[in-house]
Structure 1
Amino acid sequence: MFKKILKSQDYKLIVSLIVLCLIGLVMVYSSSMITAITRYEVASDYFYKKQMVALIVGFFLFFFAAFLIPYKVFREKRVIIFILGFSLALLIAVLALGHTAGNAKSWIVIGPLRIQPLEFAKLAVIVYLASAFTKKQPYINELTRAIIPPISIVMIICFLLAMQPDYGGILLMLGTVAALVFCSGISVKSMIKIFFIGLIAAGLMFLILWVTGQLGEVFSPTRLGRFTGFVHPFADADGNGYQLVNSYLAIGTGGLSGEGLGQGVQKFGYLPESHTDFIMAVIAEELGFGGVLVVLGLIFFIVLQGLLIAKRCTDPFGSLLAIGISTMIGIQTFVNLGAVSGILPITGVTLPFVSYGGSSITLLLFATGVLANISMVDKFKKKYKQNGTNASHLKSV
């Protein structure tokens, strides 16, 4: 039985994920070795070692989720309550006890650990909405029963993110939620209604921030500078446009073939977030267009494979869960590349599986493990049905 389960696993997804993470690990070292010494006054391999530990933990979680936890466990009410409650508790805790970095209070620091509650919240919302929309299929177009209650939970989470503030996190959250709503089976008429309800909810959020006196803090000139700087970066090349201008220089210098691994110049203090938000600029400078193409190709393959898993899956919950995870990875990649290339404001969103970040890499690997489990279970069941096996053998899967 176990051998047949192993044969049903999606090894193309696993191999591409391992290759992408290894490339990311190498680029984290290359992009952070100067920053570690000059900016943080630690050893050159400091971030590399921390990322390696996060990858080890992340792949342990990946294989645990892929092989040992049936994805249907996440549909259980008590599991959903725990995941949502834990995420909300972290988001509230970060406002009171969080560490401020990059003009946002987005991290909880416990000794050597830095936890970013947003990463837990993204996965929690996907699990919750996939379960909620699956259960509400018989009346999915009744907005007051099927859509508004779960979306209200999402709005509470977005409000807590706005208090940090984490605009990038809100963008990722709403993009993933929109994809899940779109694929939930609701009609076009209902989607239009949801759009206007969303506008009203956004207005209420602004009103609450204004009444509580937080509007000026959330939309301070320093924070808004991240949004305005990408429009005319060279007009303020030493200020709000500094990171984007140096990102352009890195990309332009790399050209087709790149300067060579480890030979980039922009990471020498010119590109402040070279190992996190702007790691793709370093990849472009050192590995050129070919390196960028390989990284994006691997991410695209993982996203595409996830969407194909969702299409093949016969279980509505598994299908929505796969759509949510795949969309989350795709949107995060798009927002990161948009910031690096200047087509979107800089929001502090990292490149999935490549950028430095313990919370991000471990939660992404766990989520991808769930994706692999959906694929494995679906293939396993289809093989058994084709062989005419009694359905009782499938209860444990």
Structure 2
Amino acid sequence: MARKKAVAKKKAVDFTLLLATILLVFIGIIMVFSSSWPEGMKDFNNGYFFLRKQLIASAIGLVGLLFFMNFDYRVLNKMSRLIYGLSALSGLLIFSPLGVSLKGARRWINLGFTTFMPSDAIKIGSIIFFASFLAKKKDDIATLKKGTIPALIIIGFSCGLIYIQKDLGTTITLAGTLMCMFFIAGMKMSHLFSLIIAAFLLLIKAITGEEHAYRRRRITAFLDPFANKLDEGWQAVQSLYALGSGGLFGLGLGKSRQKFFYIPEPYNDFIFSIIGEELGFLGSLTVIMLFLLLVWRGIRIALNIDDLFGCLLATGIVSLVAIQSLIHIAVVTSSIPTTGITLPFVSYGGTSLMFYMSAIGILLNISRHTDLDRS
């Protein structure tokens, strides 16, 4: 009888959040298939190569979503150190014999049957651990010695694990996410302004170093991409051509021209430009609205949960999705310099899709513990 009452009291998840996530994954599967067909035929003589891998990742991600949707998120608070330790270890494994260099960067681990990108694990592991840390230090967050300095050490170490992989875009994404969590937790405003100045100086250092000349070339190309359209500005220019030719309604699904080897890896870092070309402004707007819907529901969940750890964890997950989506869309519209950032749930990438869907599962479980309107 007691068990029946417990089951009866179990609240439903936020259906709107779940629906927005599933729709984004569905759109991603379709667009990965469309944008990857030419490269699949050229490199593997199989136009379904990338689609098959994306479907497998989607299925595993759905299992992860359903599991964490029914897994009490409060247990993650107790396991936060273990989760963070494992994610950090995965990042260090790239320097072991398991680490492999692809496309000029050492960011992958070869598991034999597939490759694994540890940066995605580091992002989620850092969010869980940082949420636990901030919840435990809630009375000392505004202090320098017990709040700000330990928080900066965690942020610096987490971001450093990704920066050593020569991935500045993902480093900025994670730093922005953790800073959002720190701000919501109640950091002192004077500390915030100091950190913003310090972060700006570090960014300049990451760009002006002699070993980072390629980053300076990207900034130069960003300022006038058409002046460098055959070199560093190539991707930005081709992306703008794709978005411009799509018009209001698009050329039609599967009818993109830029995916025929004009945009490198159009199914990944520039998939939003193919969405704009094939589905037009209305299709692009639909994707943006789905992300806004997901972020809005995530914010509602964070605001309505009584548990501080749950609030900060929800804040971290929503901030990560929002920041990474914003950077991706800004890159393909040439609003910021080009950087390799995928579009969550939509771009090709098994590791990213599985971790992001699992993260949404955690967010859905948090929604079970709120008085949120789930309609």
Give the shorter-chain TM-score range.
over 0.9
User: What are the residue-to-residue correspondences of 1:293-372 with 2, within 5 Å?
Assistant: 293-372=285-364
Q: Distance in 2 between matches of 1:49 and 1:180?
A: 36
Tell me the CA shift for residue 8 of structure 1: 2.4
CA distance in 1, matches of 2:138, 2:258: 52
2:239 and 2:273 in contact (8 A); partners too: yes
SS at 2:185's partner residue? coil
Counterpart in the other structure of 1:51: 54
In structure 2, the partner of 1:385 is none
Residue 243 (structure 2) aligned to one of 236, 243, 251: 251
Instruction: Determine the structure 1 residue equivalent to 2:44.
Output: 41
Q: Could you tell which deviates more after superposition, 42-51 or 3-12? A: 3-12
Question: In 2, Cα distance between the equivalents of 1:171 and 1:283?
Answer: 25
| 1:275 alignment counterpart | 267
Q: Which deviations, in whole Å up to 9, do the C-alpha atoms of 1:157-188 show, x marking residues without a partner?
A: 32232222001111101110111111011232
Determine the C-alpha separation between the residues in 1 that align with 2:216 and 2:6. Answer: 54
Q: Which secondary structure does the structure 2 equivalent of 1:75 belong to?
A: helix
Q: Give the 5 Å matches for 1:150-229.
A: 150-195=151-196, 198=199, 202=202, 216-217=210-211, 219=212, 221-229=213-221
- Superposition deviation, residue 108 in structure 1: 1.2
Output the TM-score relative to the length of structure 2.
0.92
CA contact 2:305–2:369 (8 Å) conserved in 1: no
Please tell me whether the aligned partners of residues 276 and 284 of structure 2 are also in contact (alpha carbons under 8 angstroms).
Answer: yes
Match of 2:18 in 1: 14
Q: Is 1:82 matched with 2:85? A: no
How is 1:285-300 mapped onto 2 (pairs within 5 angstroms)? Answer: 285-300=277-292
Q: CA deviation at 1:190?
A: 3.3
Aligned to 1:147, the other structure's residue is in SS state helix
Contact 1:103-1:223 within 8 A present in 2 as well: no
Q: Compute the displacement of 1:61 (Å).
A: 0.4
Aligned-residue offset at 1:193: 4.1
Check 1:226–1:193 CA distance in 2 against 1; reply closer, same or farther (3 A cut).
closer
**Contiguous gaps of at least 5 residues in structure 1:** 383-397
C-alpha RMSD of matched pairs (Å): 2.3
Partner of 1:62: 65
Q: CA deviation at 1:216?
A: 4.5
Which whole-Å CA distance do the structure 1 matches of 2:348 and 2:317 have between them?
20
Separation (CA, whole Å) in 2 of partners of 1:145 and 1:272: 47
The question of whether the paired residues in 2 share the 8 Å contact of 1:8 and 1:379 is answered with: no
TM-score (norm 1): 0.87
Does residue 1:262 correspond to 2:231, yes or no? no
- Distance in structure 1 (CA, Å) of the matches to 2:266 and 2:200: 36
CA contact (8 A) 2:120 2:351 kept: yes
Match of 1:99 in 2: 100
Which whole-Å CA distance do the structure 1 matches of 2:342 and 2:8 have between them?
37
- 1:318 positional shift: 0.6
CA distance in 2 between counterparts of 1:2 and 1:347 reads: 49
Deviation digits for residues 288-342 of structure 1, max 9, x if unmatched? 0111011111111111110110011111111111111001000000100111011
Which runs of no fewer than 5 residues in structure 2 stay unpaired? none
Q: CA deviation at 1:109?
A: 2.1
Cα offset, 1:103, TM superposition: 2.8
Per the alignment, in what secondary structure is the counterpart of residue 370 of structure 2? helix
In the TM superposition, residue 196 of structure 1 has moved relative to its aligned partner by 5.2
The letter of the residue matching 2:217 is G
Q: Distance in 2 between matches of 1:42 and 1:110?
A: 24
Q: Please tell me whether the aligned partners of residues 250 and 278 of structure 2 are also in contact (alpha carbons under 8 angstroms).
A: yes
Question: Which is further off, 340-349 or 110-119?
Answer: 110-119
Higher mean Cα deviation, 91-100 or 171-180? 91-100
The Cα shift of 1:5 comes to 5.3
Identity of aligned residues (%): 34
Partner Cα distance (2:95, 2:223) in 1:
31
Deviation (angstroms), 1:86: 1.2
The 1:2/1:113 distance shift into structure 2, 3 A limit, reads: farther
